[in-house]
Structure 1
Amino acid sequence: MKNSLFLAASLSMSCLMAAGLSQALAPASGAEDPFLWLEEIEGPRALAWARTENGKTLSALQSDPRYQRFYGEALHVLQAKDRIPYVSLGRRGLDNFWQDENQVRGVLRRTTLESYRTQSPRWETILDVDALADAEKKNWIYEGASCLPPQERLCLLHLSEGGKDAVFVREFDAVAKAFVSNGFELPEGKQQVTWVNSDTVLIARDWGEGTMTQAGYPFVVKELKRAQSLAEAHEVFRGEPTDVGATPFVLRDSEGTIHATGAVRSVSSFEHEYILFGSKPIKLNLPKKATIGGIASGRLLVTLNEDWKAPSGDTPFSAGSIISYDLAEWKQDPLRARPTLVFKPGPRQALSGFTATRNLLILTILDNVQSRAFVYKYHRGAWQATPIPLPENASVGLAAASHETDEAMFTVSSFLSPTMLWYFDAATERLETLRASPPRFDASRLVVEQFEAISRDGTRIPYFLLRSKSARFDGSTPTLLYGYGGFQTPLIPSYAGLTGRLWLEQGNAYVVANLRGGGEFGPQWHQTAQGATKQRTWDDFIAVAEDLIRRKITSPRSLGAVGGSQGGLLVGTAITQRPELFNAAILQVPLFDMVRFTKLGAGASWIGEYGDPTIPEQRKWLEAYSPYQRLVPGKTYPAPFILTSTKDDRVHPAHGRKAAARLAALGQPYLYYENTDGGHSAAANLIEQARRIALEYTYAFRRLVDE
């Protein structure tokens, strides 16, 4: 190594660990796991260990002169006044949640469409979260609001202490700009609350012993009236303790009229049952892998994630399709109503997103990981699709839509082109650019290419390569390979603002892999790498790494892997199955111990993605790839950088903690950083986000550039 002796020394210090770590490494499973004490999130010993690790990591990385430059540039971009203020289109105006150097926690504010079109919109403050946190001496993180249609005056605000998924819920008057005196107020918990009317809500939460699933989510739904205590709430639905959870369900049209209430029972991560309330509850005869998506053009919309033929019809529908029912017919007899097709994806297509406006359905699709948008209108017994003429060869996302009009907003971006916000009025066909983010880096010397790697079973795996036009194909280009590959979540091109500024402008390369398990090509692309076949995701990522090396874009000494959450597990499998392919690895809030994942955080809710370690056959395939169990003596790993958060109540920080502890016991170098706030995002505000980004790129430069 050239110029990296300091990093090597800093990493080797981490191998010494805090006092008390065993030097003799026992098998990392069950009761013999020597690091179970790190699973106590707020345990004094675990927190002391994390503080020690943070000190070593910050000393190693923040002493690098590049760190401060990266931090300053990242913060400048994140807090830039000229970034796009994304809005929702509501009855009372355009709402935006904004954070900057003055509003660190953020401010909820409102403007008009006319003002938003100007260079400097006039914003009306609705809620100042910084002021609220100061007044109440709380570490409040704003997690969103649910406002009662159609007036949208009464809102249920979700406030998290430190960024956890568990939230406090408080009723807020958006006109008076104040919390409602003696209004609805729920203590902290993982909970779902839905308005029925101004005096009634449906709630799924922890109601006491025996009301939470193994995954840590509620399975009991109750109705609460205004002025009632939680103890007085009336139970309306009870699922099973073995479920993932249950949530309340209220079906409204664009005018706010309720057409059904009920509960959604999540049998697994991807399987649901809908139960309608009434004089006699009705369990809908939809397939388990289906989701009710709302009402458009007087029809009930349902998305399918499996092939299905309705009991009341002869037409088969394929996975990835949208179907619809005549609302009046469905309400009269939901079990015998006949569905018709709205959208069916082609061979390399997938539904990306959809929303209903007052009269129409607006839909975006992925076509070979490129986006297109359409307006769908139900006319004379059939759905008619009209393309929206947005820029081609770009990623299109639904940013906002109005339920009162047929207006919508779209984000349009690509890896090298800054994001634009487009406004569309389907009634007048008016299409215009409302906002455009300025360039954050010089893209003139960069190029984007799409290649395919051949995975172990012969499947072609597409990936995007961002590189300098003058890159030498001699294996010398420092390259970061990013992937996810899970939960039917697609990775699509989006503006690489900070990556371009901190990494690409320096002549380095960046790769985004579209792995099986993701959603780039619809449900089947996901389901082919699930449970017993999850290894296919890991094989795909390794195949892309090998393809980059084969093409001499990079080499093992210049290649790093990056991923977060499921992507952190992906990186963990890569560096334990093929450590010789990588010289760096960044694991953000990762899953890592797949033998105990169901006992940590919300892990039991992901059995549908990975399998159940309590079932011997499934434990076998989990043990085969679980990175924690595959960290073994005699192998050299690429000195990973592991980041997590104490407040992450989704993916337990013990996954990252135990990975670091086991590496230390093996005498292997690593870096570990645990943010005390931030939840699953590992950053509660823009300052913390800039710090995380600066730490990651400082590490990447030391491992991949200083060679």
Structure 2
Amino acid sequence: MFRRLAYRGPVLAALVLSLSATHPMAQTSEPTDVPTLTEQAAASDPWLWLEDIEGERAMAWVEARNAHSLGVLTGDPRYDDLHSTALDLVQARDRIPFPAFRHSAGGQRTVDNFWQDANHVRGVWRRATLDSYRTDTPEWRTILDVDALASAENANWVWKGAECLAPDERLCLVSLSDGGKDAVVMREFDRETGQFIENGFDLPESKGAAGWVDENTLLVYRDFGDGTLTDSGYAMTVRRLTRGQSIDAAPEVFRGEPEDVLVAGYTLRDADGVVHAEMVDRAVTFFETESYFLTDAGAVRINLPARRSIQGLLDGRMIVTTDQDWIDGAGTAFEAGDLIAFDLEALKADPQGSVGELVLRPGERESVEDVTLTRNRLVVALYENVRGAAYAYHRAESGWVRERLNLPENASVSLSSASSEDDLLFVSVRGYLTPDTLWLADTASGALETVKSLPPKFDAEGMHVEQHQARSADGTMVPYFVVSRDGIATDGSNPTLLYGYGGFQVSLLPSYSATVGKLWLERGGVYVVANTRGGGEFGPGWHQAAQGANRQRAHEDFQAVAEDLIARGVTSPRRLGVMGGSQGGLFMGALLTQRPDLINAAIIQVPLFDMLRYHTLLAGASWMGEYGNPDIAEQREWIAAYSPYQALSADADYPEVFIHTSTKDDRVHPGHARKAAAQLEALGHEVLFYENTDGGHAAGANLRETARRLALEYTYLTRRLMD
């Protein structure tokens, strides 16, 4: 799944999208010697062999479909221009190089950046002084050239980030992926010399991660061999690894259960890099987590809400957001969406006491979308009716005091990178027609400086953005944004692309897309984004209203937006297409099978599709907190009601769809997309299918492949909606 936009702590960061032992979803309803409901269904699945990811027969099928689809789409006379434009956009050098604060070096403040362009397709990790970065022509020093590394090692390396040891941040654990998979190798790197450290920490390929305790010690949660992974394929154990020690010899400090999603070890540090607590998070579902202090006496559980995220440490207080109503150890009631502070030393002394202090309670149409910490300030990106603002909080004798940063209104506000040495913060502001602007904010004084601005990437003259609401089946009003030219006809003639996601508390916020603008809007298309339930636009309740048994509500919300667009005359079924990926791919599949009469095109990206087997494929078991467990009869019933794969019909009037995935996607199994295409073909429907053999869940290992995918998508949309 795609990661929620707000920071969700080390567990969900590792998942990049809590079942207790007594929860019905954690129980099994059949004896172990009887085939499960999923096994029974698999026995009658004619396309089960397409789940063999790199099997000879499956890959021959992929190659044949790729040849057909590429022949159709790249053979279109408009493809070359679209590809050339897309390549120019993704390789452009006038993009904003978004920075990350690093520790001062030689008395100068520094920032890092990871950059890709035509000369650095895989990318280069680089640094500059803050003063230089603020100029029009920063002087960058290369730290690591991933293209050169891949060439030297004859490897298909994709950059996945670096974890550097505070406070000086010289020693780093660099994560590299083979072809874009979630699984990475981690190698110790000296950021000053630009070299991997000989005989340093070197962790083999696995999902999971590691974090620094000190320069000679790591907390590692990865694949340690048999019996160390959960049913979801993530780490079940945490080990403390000492420099010079083999992974096999590293002592285990925590063990979860196979039914868990993941366990993760990490530290809580102050602004000076001092460790105040070693901790473990045990994700018993995707959303419910238990937290533990690691002590000399072992792991001690902390009394915290199950649905919550630890955001960091400020002035001795652990900052937590909660996604559920909760009563603390002193009897104080907190509400879902609250931002809470806990005195860390008091919590360590009495982990079950957990006396919280309210920092912020969002309103009914508000949502905390992001939280970050400078040295002395807690900064919150707070959205009201899907429009953002940023507030800086500090604690006074009277309680928590907040001050609003004087940023542009009616836009998206993203907290980019915060400094631990002072109260500086980079903040990005953008809108559908407003290119990104990067601000440098002093959150203590409120001073603001425009540092970088993205030049316009498409001609937005004569375009505007409107926000409307559609009434869903149960009466809920669902907001959506429409981006179009001024004065468009309301006769249903406008080619319209409707985008949705609708899950995992991911909020779809206004953003500037050069590719949507240049490849769609500028050519006369209308772009629409639906803020359906299942997302986080109005806080945890908006998400939870479409979880589990209520998943169909999100599908009905999306359908309601499509119907509203047609009723307003913005578009018509002949001119309406939809797009979504991952959970959004499931969204598209549900619309296709439930309301094909509304659309004439569907781009289904790296999708979930066979929801009766999703929990058996790769990381699928980790999402049962969102969807339910198909091996429990009651839950299978509600999942089967919308699972697109089983709902495909020979009698339905489906438009030709475009489905694409990646062989290297080790999060959402490519079998979902393959089986969807195969079944559509077998039922007599037209389908275009493309599978990139690299790219991972992002479906693009490098910029050239990204440009190709974009050109294929917009060629398809042109053929279906503009012709």
Partner of 1:30: 42
- Could you tell me the percent identity over the aligned residues? 54
**Which residue number in structure 2 is paired with residue 130 of structure 1?**
147
- Is 1:300 matched up with 2:318? yes
**Which aligned pairs between 1:101-120 and structure 2 lie closer than 5 A?**
101-120=118-137
1:270 paired with 2:287, answer yes
- 1:349 partner amino acid: E
* Partner residue in 2 for 1:222: 239
Offset at residue 28 of structure 1 (A): 11
Alignment correspondent of 1:56: 68
Write out aligned runs for 1:279-298 (5 A): 279-280=296-297, 281-298=299-316
Cα distance in 1 for residues equivalent to 2:55 and 2:129: 49
1:429: Cα distance to partner? 3.0
The aligned amino acid for 2:310 is: I
Distance, in Å, in 1 between the alignment partners of 2:307 and 2:572 is 42
Equivalent residue, structure 1, for 2:356: 339
Number of the residue aligned with 1:472? 489
Deviation at 1:648? 0.1
Instruction: Tell me the alpha carbon deviations over residues 364-393 of structure 1, each in whole angstroms, 9 at most, x when there is no partner.
Output: 111000000011001115110000000011
Structure 1, 324-333 or 351-360: larger mean CA deviation: 324-333
Using the alignment, how far apart are the partners of 1:632 and 1:62 within structure 2?
29
Structure 2 counterpart of 1:47, one-letter code: M
Hey, what's the Cα distance between the residues in 2 that align with 1:528 and 1:50?
A: 38
Shift of 1:336: 2.0
Alignment match, 1:689: 706
Give the distance between the partners of 2:255 and 2:354, measured in 1 at CA. Answer: 26
Q: Would the aligned equivalents of 1:471 and 1:507 in 2 still touch at CA under 8 Å? A: no
Cα drift, residue 348 of structure 1: 0.1
Does 2:331 correspond to 1:319? no
Equivalent residue for 2:82, pick from 70, 73, 77:
70
Counterpart in 2 of 1:698? 715
**Partner secondary structure for residue 625 of structure 1:** coil
1:544 lines up with 2:556 in the alignment: no
Task: Give the match for residue 384 of structure 1.
Answer: 401
**Do the aligned partners of residues 464 and 411 (structure 1) sit closer, same or farther apart at CA in structure 2, a change above 3 Å counting?**
same
> 1:150 deviation in Å?
0.6
Q: Please list every run of 5 or more consecutive structure 2 residues that lacks an aligned counterpart in the other structure.
A: 1-38, 105-109
Moved over 4 A (4+): none
- Give 1:337 shift: 4.3
Which residue in 2 is equivalent to 1:169?
Answer: 186
Query: Which whole-Å CA distance do the structure 2 matches of 1:301 and 1:379 have between them?
Result: 16
Q: Which residue of 1 aligns with 2:630?
A: 613
Match in the other structure for 2:252: 235
What is the rounded CA distance, in whole Å, between the counterparts of 1:470 and 1:699 in structure 2? Answer: 26
CA distance in 2, matches of 1:239, 1:225: 22
**Alignment: residue pair count:** 679
Q: Is the 8 A contact 1:28 1:629 kept in 2?
A: no
For residue 645 of structure 2, the aligned residue among 603, 622, 628 is: 628
- Cα distance per residue 1:316-370 (max 9 Å; x no partner): 1110111001233223323224211011100100001111111111111110000
CA distance in 1, matches of 2:124, 2:693: 22
**Counterpart amino acid of 1:136?**
E
Q: TM-score, normalised by structure 2?
A: 0.93
Q: 1:640 — aligned with what?
A: 657
My pick for the range that moved more, 331-340 or 214-223, is 331-340
Tell me the secondary structure at the aligned position of residue 48 of structure 1: helix
- Which residue among 43, 51, 63 is the counterpart of 1:39? 51
- AA partner of residue 309 (structure 1): I
SS at match of 1:57: helix
SS in 1 for 2:203: strand
1:570 aligns with 2:584: no
1:89-100 equivalent positions in 2, closer than 5 A: 89-92=101-104, 93-100=110-117
Paired with 1:511 and 1:224, the residues of 2 have a C-alpha distance of: 49
Aligned-pair distance for 1:309? Answer: 1.1
Distance 2:242 2:634 in 1: 47
| Displacement of 1:428 | 3.9
Letter in 1 for 2:321: T
Give the match for residue 668 of structure 2: 651
Amino acid at match of 1:150: P
Structure 2 SS opposite 1:461: strand
The 3-state SS of whatever aligns with 2:618 is: coil
In 2, Cα distance between equivalents of 1:53 and 1:73: 26
Q: Is the 8 A contact 2:302 2:354 kept in 1?
A: no
What is the letter of the counterpart of residue 510 of structure 1? Answer: Y
Moved more, 536-545 or 330-339: 330-339
Aligned 8 A contact 2:377 2:393 in 1: yes
For 1:641-688, what per-residue CA distance to the aligned partner results, in whole angstroms no more than 9, with x for missing partners?
001000000001000000000011001001000001110000011111
What is the identity, as a one-letter code, of the residue corresponding to 1:442? Answer: D
* Contact 1:28/1:34, CA 8 A, preserved across alignment: no
Distance in 2, Cα, partners of 1:337 & 1:666: 58
Do the aligned residues in 1 keep the contact of 2:498 with 2:528 (CA within 8 Å)? yes
Aligned amino acid, residue 44 of structure 2: E
Residue of structure 2 in register with 1:355 after alignment: 372
